[in-house]
Amino acid sequence: MLITEKQKRAYPAHAHTPLKTRPLDLLYFLFFAMHLPATLLIDLQYIYPTQLVPNFLKSLVSFYVDMSRDPLIGGINGFFFKDDNTHMTWFKTFIVLEAVFQVPMFVLGLRGLYKGSKSIYPLLAVYAASSATTTLACLTTVLTTPELTPELLARGAVAVSNSQRFLLLSSYVPFFLIPLIMAVDMTARVTRLVKKGVASEEESKKWN
């Protein structure tokens, strides 16, 4: 059904603007589309029953940790701290939060961004602020992880080489910056919508 320009002005919520013409929304859409499978296949393995995880997925995590010595994913999955990783409780909590809050938000975000729905803006602002905050803690952990030495390697301690730290930062930084940009952007969008709503309400009162 064709929508005329007059109808678009009268019913702006139903005028679908193509995603490719909204650069930031396209960035957020691609971010969610990439983040969702990575979360389901790698990050959430910690909370899945071990017997239900296919061997190729376990091998994927093993390969990633062997390559990067990621102190976070490796720590909660038993690659380090084999005797006790209770000090990783904060990151385990983040993983549960990722499962119960972020995964549904990825799905809702993909749908809302594709449709150009303004009603998704408040949820995206909340998600983005939460995600940027939790990822900042992960970045701090990566930055403060000791540099790898033969002694630490022999002891099986958590440590990374300079190249591994660079690899980890190149992985974690985008997951901090994009939600940070999204948080600022969505907050600004919601603020503009609220201002328009208040102005419209005040205008209507003048005619009543």
- What sign does the dihedral 112-116-120-125 (CA atoms) show? positive
Count of domains observed in the chain: 1
**Is 70 part of any domain?**
yes
Q: Which residue has the tokens 């600022």?
A: 184
Residue 8 falls inside a structural domain: no
Residue span of the structural domain in which 183 resides:
21-197
Phi-psi region of 48 (alpha: psi -120 to 50; beta: other; left: phi over 0): beta
In angstroms, the CA 5 to CA 151 distance is 70
Mean pLDDT by 10 residues, the chain (208 residues): 44 66 97 96 92 92 94 89 77 95 97 95 97 96 92 82 96 97 97 86 70
In a domain, 11, yes or no: no
pLDDT of residue 3: 43
Considering the domain boundaries, does residue 204 fall inside one?
no
Residue 13 counted as domain residue: no
Classify residue 47: in a domain, yes or no.
yes
Q: What is the b/e burial string over 107-140, where b = at least 16 CB atoms within 10 angstroms of the residue's CB?
A: ebbbebbeebeeebbeebbebbbbbbebbeebbe
The rounded distance, in Å, linking the Cα atoms of 102 and 157 is: 31
- Please provide residue 147's backbone torsions phi and psi, each rounded to the nearest 5 degrees: -75, 140
pLDDT at residue 208, rounded to an integer: 63
DSSP structure class, residue 17:
P
Statement: the pTM of the whole predicted model exceeds 0.75:
yes
Residue whose structure tokens are 């930031």:
24
Q: What is the pLDDT of residue 84?
A: 67
108, part of any domain:
yes
